[in-house]
């Protein structure tokens, strides 16, 4: 597995990362880490790899665009000296274009989105053990839906930058597209964005699948 004893993973993002975590960062006892995929990842790491002490930090903030995350990136990510960084941002960059079309100043268009991500990546790539770049998503299998089509543009920006900066790319959009071939999006999220615990579990499994995570590892622990 990628993670080693003593590693710290900082998860940066918006509401789908935040999910009621403590602010500005959440970690440690009780519900400080929130109830998103970050919590499920922490649960799985502690349950299956009990010999490893891995510090999981939730640096998600509800409502953030990539512009907002970039503005606080030094404080909430870099200054924590993480071993690993996960960046999942972009949903609000797209969503504001549809729910607030009369407010262009709050929208983050593709060119700015790419530049914001580049600036974040340049702060942590080469200074950490590794970076996960996670795609934004819209839980809508119809690619002709206007918001889904727009979201796909941002997913491709993430994919391109992950390859360019040698990041681990985690494709949440593909995950939900495949899931929606079997079950309707309402099973996960009525607004097609904010996942329930089933969605959080799916996202955690998708993340861990890129980490060399072995579900039967606990049986091998002496």
- pTM over cut 0.85: yes
Across the strands, what pairs with 13? 60, 88
Q: Which residue's entry shows tokens 């593709």?
A: 110
Pairing of strands 168-170, 55-60: unpaired
18 is catalytic: no
Contacts of 209 (CB under 8 A, 6+ apart): none
Q: Cβ–Cβ contacts within 10 Å for residue 45, how many?
A: 22
For residue range 121-160, what is the model confidence (pLDDT) as tens digits?
A: 999 999 999 999 999 999 999 999 999 999 999 999 999 9
Given 15, 86, 135, 185, the catalytic residue: 15
User: Is domain 8-212 given the CATH code 3.40.50.300 in the classification?
Assistant: no
CA dist., res. 1 & res. 13, Å (int):
24
DSSP label of 133: E
For residue range 161-216, what is the model confidence (pLDDT) as tens digits?
A: 999 999 999 999 999 999 999 999 999 999 999 999 999 999 999 999 999 999 88
15 is catalytic: yes
Given 20, 83, 194, 217, the catalytic residue: 194
Given 145, 186, 191, 209, the catalytic residue: 191
194 is catalytic: yes
Residue 33, token pair as written in the block: 């880490």
């Amino acid at each position: 597995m990628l993670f080693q004893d003593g590693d710290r993973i900082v998860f940066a993002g918006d509401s789908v990362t935040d999910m009621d975590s403590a602010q500005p960062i959440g970690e440690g006892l009780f519900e400080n880490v929130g109830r998103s995929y970050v919590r499920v990842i922490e649960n799985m790491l502690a349950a299956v790899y009990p010999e490893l002490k891995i510090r999981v930090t939730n640096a998600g903030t509800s409502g953030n665009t990539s512009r907002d995350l970039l503005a606080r990136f030094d404080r909430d990510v870099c200054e924590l000296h993480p071993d690993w960084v996960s960046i999942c941002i972009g949903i609000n960059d797209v969503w504001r274009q549809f729910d607030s079309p009369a407010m262009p100043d709050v929208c983050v268009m593709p060119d700015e989105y790419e530049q914001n991500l580049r600036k974040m990546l340049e702060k942590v790539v080469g200074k950490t053990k590794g970076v996960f770049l996670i795609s934004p998503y819209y839980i809508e299998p119809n690619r002709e839906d206007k918001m889904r089509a727009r979201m796909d543009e941002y997913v491709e920006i993430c994919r391109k930058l992950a390859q360019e900066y040698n990041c681990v790319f985690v494709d949440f959009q593909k995950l939900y597209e495949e899931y929606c071939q079997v079950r309707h999006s309402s099973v996960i999220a009525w607004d097609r964005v904010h996942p329930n615990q089933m969605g959080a579990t799916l996202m955690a499994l998708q993340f861990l699948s890129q980490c060399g995570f072995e579900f039967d590892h606990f049986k091998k622990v002496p």
